[in-house]
Chains A and B, each alone.
Chain A
């Protein structure tokens, strides 16, 4: 019986053994049984499939640790020994890397245990290579996301809406706020608000709550940096569900610079605006269609239009009717980019008066540099100047004409004077001619007989008359061939020494010609004077009367006056 039992027992054991063997062989896990020294005694089909070695190559030939990757070999050996010396402290499960027959790496999850009452251990190997790979991929992806997350120029903060704490933030966020990532985590997005109205926690919570409910929020916010300064940000909030958590993603952009630029821009703009509006010079801007887009106060004063009356209207309304075409022509030329330096264009006031304005202009181009977007022109009202110039010109003209008049008058006067001078000259000529005539007349040389000439002297005998007398007398003597000249001084009031000398000279000259002079008519007074002066007339033929002289002359010519009786 016993043997029957025994056999039955043995059969049962055998059967059990058979069962286990079958389990061992068809198990989905790779299973190896390793001896005390680590030699693998038995492997199943799955093991063969996993490691690539055949049963024959492994069983009894390779040690457990030989299959292991070099990095993990020591650890595996250690576990193996530990399992025998102190089974409780040896890990039941562990991960290790193994080497496939073809050199490939196998990540494996090992479940190890000692077979009771033996020193053999059962090692169940689960291939977790794919899992590992997926993990790696996930890690790489995670890392690249993290990198992107960190390299973004905006601060990104992941906020847990329910717990109101920050669960993650990128490096930009820590830079922006001045806290480390650890310091930021688990604080709230609502912390570090600047606190100034309207930047309070309550308002920010509102925004966050709205975002959490699915309404993305974008708003500007003022935060406070760790060092105390405030900085402007633009926050965009959006809800997100990650791993089942209700989150709010906050993308925070530091817009301090932008704000500053905006501020500067606003300032410049305000400055320009004021400059434009309150400048004393009229300034106008028009678009490429010649419609007025800006019109400053000075222009309002210049034209009498209000800016709102003319904005959007054509430039034409500004010009006087008769000059519209010319002015528009000039303006069209600016469209081609021409700049006015100094162009004179008349502007009409609403009261119909015309102002003369000097313009300069500049054309504003689009960023492409060729499309005209606007033209700005600045003017200078020179009406007053023009008027002054005109007045000056008129007064100048008046002056000129007055000068011309005066000149003409002077000319006339001059002409009159010239005429007078001419007249006088003529008169002088007449006088001198008459004087000459008188001179000649005053000494008439008369031939009174064949061979006798006579000169009756009348009036005072000055040197000029004496000269005249001598010339005339000698000339007549030669002409007439007269041998005797009768010189009658009855008409001479007085004879002085000078006159006497003239007479003597005349007589000598006559004698040189070969004629004789008979001096007649010496009155007693003259005779006395001549005697007193000591004038020697001794060798001059003198006779008291003209008739006595004539008689003497006739005698000289051997002629006689005979009575018929």
Chain B
């Protein structure tokens, strides 16, 4: 039933260049290879608006295409994750490239409380696990 409701309420969310896709109770956002600051800001707004509207369990941010990670992007992602938590959902960053991870580590960038997953598949699993854990607790 829940899935059906989710399917009914499914609407493609389109922004300037990024689409925020709702799959059942998860929002999926695929980042473009080289996102600029404006895109990132619009993304944040869109994501927050979508969460408010759909009451989803989590947000999966697919950054497998991203080749470079700058401090602004890292900060916005960390903030967004925090905001999402405040709005009762969970954020999972999925598919970070090894080279991006190395750079980020060396630069000392962190993603705050955001969870990470190797890929979108695992990310979806994490989102549901975390929801269950939270409900249990």
Give chain A's interface residues, CB within 8 Å of chain B.
Answer: 470-471, 474-475, 477-478, 481-483, 505-506, 508-515
Contacts and interface: CB of A to CB of B under 8 A. Distances in A.
B95 to A, nearest CB: 8
A508 to B, nearest CB: 5
B119 A481 contact: yes
Contacts of B117: 514
Contact of A474 (B98, B122, B123, B126): B98
B122 A512 contact: no
Contacts of B95: 514
B49 interface: no
Contacts of B105: 470, 505-506, 508-509, 512
A514 B122 contact: yes
Nearest to B104: A512
> Which 4 pairs from chain A and chain B are nearest by CB?
A474-B98, A514-B116, A514-B117, A509-B101
B102 A470 contact: yes
11 contacts: A477-B98, A477-B118, A478-B98, A483-B118, A509-B101, A509-B105, A512-B100, A513-B116, A514-B92, A514-B95, A514-B122
A512 B119 contact: no
Contacts of A483: 118, 122
Given A481-B119, A505-B106, A514-B96, 13 more contacts: A471-B98, A471-B102, A475-B98, A482-B118, A508-B105, A512-B93, A512-B100, A512-B116, A513-B98, A513-B101, A513-B118, A514-B92, A514-B122
A127 B59 CA distance: 191
A513 B110 CA distance: 12
Nearest to A472: B98
Residue of A482, A510, A514 most packed against chain B (CB within 10 A):
A514
A536 to B, nearest CB: 15
B98 A514 contact: no
Contacts of A510: 101
A513 B96 CA distance: 5
A44 to B, nearest CB: 182
Nearest to A473: B98
B98 A511 contact: no
A515 B126 CA distance: 11
Contacts of B27: none
Contacts of B118: 477-478, 481-483, 513-515
B94 interface: yes
B115 interface: yes
Contact of B111 (A474, A481, A512, A515): A512
A447 to B, nearest CB: 13
Nearest to A505: B105
Contact of A514 (B102, B106, B115): B115
Contacts of A509: 98, 101-102, 104-105
B106 A512 contact: no
Contacts of B116: 511-515
Nearest to B69: A512
Contacts of A481: 118-119, 122
A424 B97 CA distance: 39
B104 A514 contact: no
Interface in B74-124: 92-98, 100-102, 104-106, 110-111, 115-119, 122-123
A436 B119 CA distance: 30
Contacts of A513: 96, 98, 101, 116, 118
Contacts of A475: 98
B94 A514 contact: yes
Contacts of A478: 97-98, 118
A474 to B, nearest CB: 3
A513 B94 CA distance: 7
A509 B98 CA distance: 8
A40 B63 CA distance: 191
B47 to A, nearest CB: 19
Contacts of B94: 514
A538 B47 CA distance: 33
B101 A474 contact: yes
A505 B101 CA distance: 10
Nearest to B117: A514
